[in-house]
Structure 1
Amino acid sequence: MDIVFAGRVIEWRGPSPYYFVAVPAEQCADIREVASVASYGWGVIPVEARIGGIAFATSLFPKDGGYLLPVKSAVRTPQGLSAGDEVTVEMAVRL
Structure 2
Amino acid sequence: MRASFSAPLWQWEARSEAWWFVTVPADVSDDLADLPLPPRGFGSIRVEVTVGSTTWRTSVFPSDREGGYVLPMKKAVRTKEHLTAHDPVSVTLETVDH
- By the TM > 0.5 criterion, same fold? yes
TM-score of the pair, normalised by structure 2: 0.89
Q: CA deviation at 1:87?
A: 1.1
The answer for the alignment partner of 1:82 in structure 2 is: 84
Q: CA deviation at 1:17?
A: 1.3
CA distance in 1, matches of 2:17, 2:77: 17
Flag the structure with higher helix content. Answer: 1
- Which residue of structure 1 aligns with residue 43 of structure 2? 43
Cα distance in 2 for residues equivalent to 1:87 and 1:39 = 28
* Equivalent residue number for residue 21 of structure 1: 22
Task: Quote the residue 1:30 is aligned against.
Answer: 31
Structure 2: how far apart are the matches of 1:92 and 1:15?
30
List 4+ stretches of structure 1 deviating above 4 A.
none
Percent of aligned pairs sharing the same letter: 37
Tell me the SS of whatever aligns to 2:41. Answer: coil
**Whole-Å Cα distance in 1 between the matches of residues 56 and 39 of structure 2?**
18
- Quote the offset at 1:84 in angstroms: 0.5
Q: Is the 8 A contact 1:11 1:19 kept in 2?
A: yes
Q: Indicate the residue corresponding to 2:6 in structure 1.
A: 6
8 Å contact from structure 2 (residues 49, 92) kept in 1: yes
- How does 1:60-71 map onto structure 2 within 5 Å? 60-64=60-64, 65-71=67-73
Q: Which of 88, 91, 94 is equivalent to 1:92?
A: 94
TM-score by length of 1: 0.91
The 1:45–1:72 alpha-carbon spacing in structure 2 relative to 1, beyond 3 Å, is: same
Provide the rounded CA distance (Å) in 2 between the counterparts of 1:85 and 1:51. 12
